[in-house]
Amino acid sequence: MPRLIIESGHTERQYWHDLWRYRELFYVLAWRDISVRYKQTVVGVLWAVIQPLMVTLIFTFVFGRLAKMPSDGVPYPLWVFAATMPWQFFAASLAGASQSLVGNANLISKVYFPRLIVPAGAVVTTMVDFLISFGLFLLMMAWYHVWPTWRFIAIPFLMLLAFMTALGPGLLITALNVKYRDFRYIIPFIIQIGIYISPVGWSSTMIRQNFPQWTWLYSLNPMVGVLDGFRWALLDGKGGASLPSFVLSVAVTAFLVLLGVWYFRKTERTFADII
Amino acid sequence: MSDIPIRVENLGKKYLLTHMGNRGHRKYTALRDVLMEAAMTPFRGLRRRLGKTVDDEQPDSPSREEFWALKDVSFEIERGEAVGIIGRNGAGKSTLLKLLSRITEPTTGRIELEGQVASLLEVGTGFHPELTGRENIYLNGAILGMKRAEIKSKFDEIVAFAEVEKFLDTPVKHYSSGMYVRLAFAVAAHLEPDVLIVDEVLAVGDAEFQKKCLGKMKSVSEKDGRTVLFVSHNMQAIRQMCQRVIFLKQGKIAYAGDPHEAISGYLGQGVNAESQTAIDLTDYPRTRSIEGAVFLRMRFTDGHGRPAASVRLTDVLGIEMDILAKKPLRQFNLSMAVIHGEGLRVFSEAYSDQRAMPDLAPGEYTLRFEVPMRFFKMESYFVALTLIENGKICDHVEGLLMPEIVDENPNLQMESQRWGVLRVPVTWDLIKPAVKQAAPKS
């Protein structure tokens, strides 16, 4: 029979093992969040479609029609939607993960489980919305007679990348938010600014052409890698993705994930005391 | 496999209380406070780094206060034992359970646990109001550490225990509170851990159901040979359930062993046992600030004004208190309330219910009132006292444990075991079928 020893400052060696053992709770919490997500709403799951669609419409008008931004020959709505989808996924995941611990305060102060389950579950939940809007994207492709290519096989990996990009800062912010409630105000700010400094309405090609010396700085934004990657995969290599820039973005994501996990693990033991 | 599934050594838990001026306690901090603190003492860290002695050597800023919720606690629990944990609010019971359930981490000492531990610190943890009863059974089960297959195999049993068959597919937000609690306890009752940790969950639900839960817990420990750790204010339940009781007082073990001893220690603590004369209320913890007048001391006495450590059901309990009016008090009033050991408010009464409210000049006063005990049960009750001036609260103290209520009369003991928080002796009459009246004289 396993013997468990609890001591002060004793970082449990079996943490990752525990995380695996509690995977069922992870599924159940994700299922709970998904099944209550659109309860007591009138249009329900349609919200998952309405949101990216509205952004696409507005961006098509503002950037496509008014500003006449180039879209590398792709129909502009398709062009925007390919980036809106992962962007919305990122934004919703980040917001969900950041609020997740405080939102589950009751659970945290009453039951033991590896707390990492909570923010990770929150990110998985938003994946459902992503899949729905992905379905919509396929319909749009058919409408514009644009056909999938072999590059589609990159999508699961890009999903994983987007997941990690949201999880890293999400872990950091949700852990900080337990102690300093200031951090919940930072999220809307990040999301609002992020959509303009990331290639959602325009393309990375423009940065490379107009500000070649600043491309490295631009690529430090981890969402550049994700969005360029999605356009590359969905729109047959269009969108100005470049390998060095992608690698840099991925490196930043990896760094943020490590930082997030480290800080989360460091503070996790005190969550129940201060939440 | 050893026979000691729980071993606790020198366990301690320290909290830092932050006092935020008059804004009361706030658990989480705003970043602003941290920045302010850093700005106020900009060189502290620097000085420390330079190795100089810092003149303000307090552990932290003066607004911080250390508080040991639990200190130097050691005990062992054997396999299959049912152990009760008792103590007043704030004695460290819940902290101990939280440490054992790994929810928070100890500051000192160590805990060794063997086997699967399940803790039930609250009924219905994680219940989601929008989900149906069926869905919540799975959700709550998973939260308590059950596998899906396990829940599935016990599903019918759980539903039958909770008596909610008809409402399985109704969102629990439409449940009555009784149904909600029944369902929540039913899930927990079907856990099969090696060690079960239960906090005051029986304080909810109706008496019938409480009985059922208690029976279930008893069978878990006796028949299945599981170890049960059980916190309660209900001494009746503790007596029934536990072979051993740990009595906590101010974060330390005051007594561990025989339930009877522990319970009488708990019921007799503070007030009566420590000082036969008076309880000092000047340092007594309060939940609100004092304005204008304050309780100084109080005493429990018998009907003749003598200090009382226990009181008979046939007697009266005298409650005397010294108060200090710091300023002239207009329309002085005092209210007292009696709260049952399980938290239910039994009754309250105010000075103004019987007398006109006087105006008082500054100074010390003694007030005395007597409560007839004939409606009480042999359980624990608390007294709360409130000083009022002109409709505003001056001072309020609560959680004053009444002396133990005793009686030898077996009939009274029997009545005391019935459910409810009071014992009202009703008069019974069995009436024979009316005897036919004699036929009218012809």
The partner residues of A219 in beta bridges, in order of sequence, read none
How many CB atoms sit inside 10 A of residue B428's CB? 5
pLDDT band (50, 70, 90) for residue B41: low
Instruction: Give yes or no: residues B200 and B332 share one domain.
Output: no
Q: What are the phi and psi torsion angles at B421 (to 5°)?
A: -105, -5
B1/A181 Cβ within 8 A? no
User: In this structure, is residue B203 part of a structural domain?
Assistant: yes
The reported pLDDT for the residue numbered A173 is 92
Burial B72-98 (b: 16+ CB within 10 A, else e): ebebebebbbbbbbbbbeebbbbbbbb
How far apart are the C-alpha atoms of B328 and B345, rounded to whole Å?
A: 32
pLDDT tens digits for range B321-356: 999 999 999 999 999 999 887 778 899 999 888 888
The reported pLDDT for the residue numbered B437 is 57
Total domains in the fold of chain B = 2
Q: How many CB pairs under 8 A join A and B?
A: 108
* Chain A residues within 8 A of B102 when measuring between CB atoms: 6, 112
Chain A interface with B: residues with Cβ < 8 Å: 1-9, 24-25, 28-29, 32, 35-36, 39-40, 106-113, 178-183, 269-270, 272-275
Instruction: Give yes or no: residues B225 and B367 share one domain.
Output: no
Whole-complex ipTM: 0.82
Q: Which chain B residue shows the shortest CA-CA distance from A35?
A: B131
Contact in structure between B328 and B360 (CB atoms under 8 Å): yes
Contact in structure between B191 and B137 (CB atoms under 8 Å): no
Choice between B359 and A1, residue whose per-residue pLDDT is larger: B359
User: In this structure, is residue B22 part of a structural domain?
Assistant: no
- Percentage of chain A with pLDDT > 90? 34
Q: Copy the structure tokens of residue A78.
A: 């398709």
How far apart are the C-alpha atoms of B296 and B282, rounded to whole Å?
A: 5
Instruction: Give yes or no: residues B234 and B305 share one domain.
Output: no
A36/B29 Cβ within 8 A? no
Within 13 Å and on the Cβ side, how many CA atoms surround B217?
31
Instruction: Give yes or no: residues B203 and B89 share one domain.
Output: yes
Mutant choice from B4, B98, B143, B174 vs A, greatest count of A C-beta within 10 A = B143
Instruction: Give yes or no: residues B248 and B142 share one domain.
Output: yes
User: In this structure, is residue B171 part of a structural domain?
Assistant: yes
Kindly report the nearest CA distance between residue A24 and chain B, in angstroms. Answer: 7
The reported pLDDT for the residue numbered B385 is 92
Contact in structure between B293 and B387 (CB atoms under 8 Å): yes
Q: Which chain A residue shows the shortest CA-CA distance from B131?
A: A36
pLDDT tens digits for range B421-442: 888 878 888 888 766 555 555 4
The reported pLDDT for the residue numbered A247 is 93
A109/B119 Cβ within 8 A? no
Taking alpha carbons only, the member of B348, B350, B338, B428 closest to residue B377 is B338
How many CB atoms sit inside 10 A of residue A60's CB? 20
* Chain B residues within 8 A of A274 when measuring between CB atoms: 27-28
Instruction: Give yes or no: residues B309 and B236 share one domain.
Output: no
For residue B137, give Cα distances in angstroms to A111, B127, B142, B176, B208.
16, 8, 8, 16, 22
Average pLDDT value for residue range B235-254: 85
Q: Copy the structure tokens of residue B7.
A: 């071993």
- Percentage of chain B with pLDDT > 90? 14
Q: Using CB atoms, pick whichever of A24, A39, A180 lies closest to residue B130.
A: A39
User: In this structure, is residue B399 part of a structural domain?
Assistant: yes
The reported pLDDT for the residue numbered A158 is 94
Mutant choice from B6, B16, B28 vs A, greatest count of A C-beta within 10 A = B28
How many CB atoms sit inside 10 A of residue A34's CB? 17
Q: What are the phi and psi torsion angles at B242 (to 5°)?
A: -105, 140
* Chain A residues within 8 A of B128 when measuring between CB atoms: 32, 36
> Hunting for tokens 């059901």 — which residue is that?
B313
Q: Using CB atoms, pick whichever of A8, A25, A110 lies closest to residue B105.
A: A8
Indicate the pTM of the whole model: 0.70
> Hunting for tokens 């300023």 — which residue is that?
B327
Instruction: Give yes or no: residues B335 and B232 share one domain.
Output: no
A181/B28 Cβ within 8 A? yes
Q: Copy the structure tokens of residue A96.
A: 């969900």
Contact in structure between B392 and B335 (CB atoms under 8 Å): no
One-letter amino acid identity for B118?
A
How far apart are the C-alpha atoms of B10 and B251, rounded to whole Å?
A: 12
Instruction: Give yes or no: residues B230 and B159 share one domain.
Output: yes
The reported pLDDT for the residue numbered B380 is 80
* Chain B residues within 8 A of A24 when measuring between CB atoms: 142, 147-148
Out of B70-84, B111-125, B207-221, pick the least confident. B207-221
Instruction: Give yes or no: residues B90 and B224 share one domain.
Output: yes
Average pLDDT value for residue range A66-71: 82
Sign of CA dihedral B75, B79, B81, B85: positive
> Hunting for tokens 């106020």 — which residue is that?
B40
Kindly report the nearest CA distance between residue A133 and chain B, in angstroms. Answer: 25
Chain B interface with A: residues with Cβ < 8 Å: 1, 15, 27-32, 34, 98-99, 101-115, 117, 119, 121-122, 125-126, 128, 130-131, 135, 138-139, 142-145, 147-148, 194
The partner residues of B350 in beta bridges, in order of sequence, read B335
User: In this structure, is residue B63 part of a structural domain?
Assistant: no
Last residue of a domain, one of B206, B241, B267: B267
Per-residue pLDDT for B375 more than 70?
yes
* Chain A residues within 8 A of B32 when measuring between CB atoms: 182
Instruction: Give yes or no: residues B103 and B132 share one domain.
Output: yes
* Chain A residues within 8 A of B130 when measuring between CB atoms: 36, 39-40
Q: Helix crossing, A243-268 with A222-234: angle to 10°?
A: 130
B255: which residues sit within 8 A by CB, 6+ positions away? B245, B246, B247, B261, B262, B265
pLDDT band (50, 70, 90) for residue B271: very low
User: In this structure, is residue B191 part of a structural domain?
Assistant: yes
* Chain A residues within 8 A of B8 when measuring between CB atoms: none
For residue A103, give Cα distances in angstroms to A92, A261, B307.
15, 19, 51
pLDDT band (50, 70, 90) for residue A268: confident
Per-residue pLDDT for A250 more than 90?
yes
How many CB atoms sit inside 10 A of residue B112's CB? 17
Choice between B200 and A234, residue whose per-residue pLDDT is larger: A234
pLDDT tens digits for range B85-99: 988 767 888 889 989
Residue B376 structural domain: 276-416
In terms of C-beta density within 10 A (0-12 exposed, 13-18 middle, 19 or more buried), how is residue B278 classed?
A: middle
pLDDT band (50, 70, 90) for residue A157: very high
User: In this structure, is residue B338 part of a structural domain?
Assistant: yes
Q: Using CB atoms, pick whichever of A32, A113, A179 lies closest to residue B128.
A: A32
B374: which residues sit within 8 A by CB, 6+ positions away? B313, B314, B425
Contact in structure between B325 and B384 (CB atoms under 8 Å): no
Question: Ranked by mean pLDDT, which of B229-243, B270-284, B289-303 comes out on top?
Answer: B289-303
Instruction: Give yes or no: residues B237 and B343 share one domain.
Output: no
Instruction: Give yes or no: residues B230 and B191 share one domain.
Output: yes
pLDDT band (50, 70, 90) for residue B23: very low
A111/B125 Cβ within 8 A? yes
CATH code, domain with B112: 3.40.50.300
A1/B194 Cβ within 8 A? yes
* Chain A residues within 8 A of B16 when measuring between CB atoms: none
B121/A110 Cβ within 8 A? yes
Q: Helix crossing, B177-189 with B133-143: angle to 10°?
A: 40
User: In this structure, is residue B231 part of a structural domain?
Assistant: yes
Mutant choice from A28, A35, A99 vs B, greatest count of B C-beta within 10 A = A28
Out of B6-15, B69-78, B207-216, B244-253, pick the least confident. B207-216
Kindly report the nearest CA distance between residue B31 and chain A, in angstroms. Answer: 5
Kindly report the nearest CA distance between residue B12 and chain A, in angstroms. Answer: 9
The reported pLDDT for the residue numbered B415 is 62
Q: Which chain A residue shows the shortest CA-CA distance from B128?
A: A32
pLDDT tens digits for range B191-223: 888 888 888 766 555 667 777 777 888 887 888
Kindly report the nearest CA distance between residue B34 and chain A, in angstroms. Answer: 9
Mean pLDDT of all residues belonging to chain A: 87
Question: Ranked by mean pLDDT, which of B32-36, B125-129, B309-313 comes out on top?
Answer: B125-129
CA B419 vs. chain centroid, Å, equals 18
pLDDT tens digits for range A83-123: 999 999 999 999 999 989 988 888 888 888 889 999 999 88
Q: Using CB atoms, pick whichever of B1, B32, B110 lies closest to residue A1.
A: B1
Q: Which chain B residue shows the shortest CA-CA distance from A34?
A: B131
Per-residue pLDDT for B45 more than 60?
no
Kindly report the nearest CA distance between residue B90 and chain A, in angstroms. Answer: 15
Mutant choice from A6, A36, A265, A269 vs B, greatest count of B C-beta within 10 A = A6
Average pLDDT value for residue range A56-60: 89
How far apart are the C-alpha atoms of A137 and A234, rounded to whole Å?
A: 9
